[in-house]
Amino acid sequence: MKKFPIPHVIIRNCIIFIMRVVVQRVRNAEVSVGGKLISRIGKGALIFLGVGKSDTTQDADYLADKVLRLRMFEDEAGKMNLSLFNIGAEALVVSQFTLYGDCRKGRRPSFDKAAAPQEAERLYSYFINCMRGYGVKVEEGRFRAMMDVSLVNDGPVTFILESR
């Protein structure tokens, strides 16, 4: 029997940061800033988005498509076979740099892997526009604001997705 080599990649001294989202299936969700309601959705997904230092528009494209097509809603048989896109559900996207909080050392999280605010905001807006480009109703939080996020989790159903 002929043996074939196992393909592999060796990366030395290279750290790759990835865009992250936490997606929660919700019955409804809303964001307030300073006690004032700024956005609200009905049935759909609450998406917390974290942007890493080396993230690109390709990462945002990939995750927007993945979230929109993720089969997280039940069909008539009770199986998770339907996506946001399939059922015309809404999305609320909230920027959350704390998804890059590294808690492995000490007691204070390190945010060294998070993108700089200007770049993070650019990719946050790009991600939202990607989702809107599919014709989905997308609401958003306020970038770099202290927000009160309220939701009624449906399930609960929660997924963590990463690019690359």
CATH number where 147 lies: 3.50.80.10
Q: What is the pLDDT of residues 110-161, one digit of tens each?
A: 999 999 999 999 999 999 999 999 999 999 999 999 999 999 999 999 999 9
pLDDT at 11 over 90: no
Q: Classify the C-alpha dihedral 18-131-155-27 as positive or negative.
A: positive
Q: What is the pLDDT of residue 17?
A: 55
As beta bridge partners, residue 25 has: 45
User: How do 44-50 and 90-95 pair as beta strands?
Assistant: parallel
In a domain, 53, yes or no: yes
Q: So which residues are the catalytic ones?
A: 96-98
Q: Classify the C-alpha dihedral 33-35-36-39 as positive or negative.
A: positive
Q: What is the pLDDT of residues 52-70, one digit of tens each?
A: 999 999 999 999 999 999 9
Task: State percent of the chain over pLDDT 90.
Answer: 87
In a domain, 8, yes or no: no
In a domain, 33, yes or no: yes
Q: How many domains does the chain have?
A: 1
Strands (E), the chain: 20-33, 36-41, 44-50, 73-74, 80-82, 90-95, 138-140, 147-162
Average pLDDT, the chain: 90
Q: What is the pLDDT of residue 40?
A: 98
In a domain, 119, yes or no: yes
Name the residue range of residue 112's domain: 20-157
3, amino acid identity: K
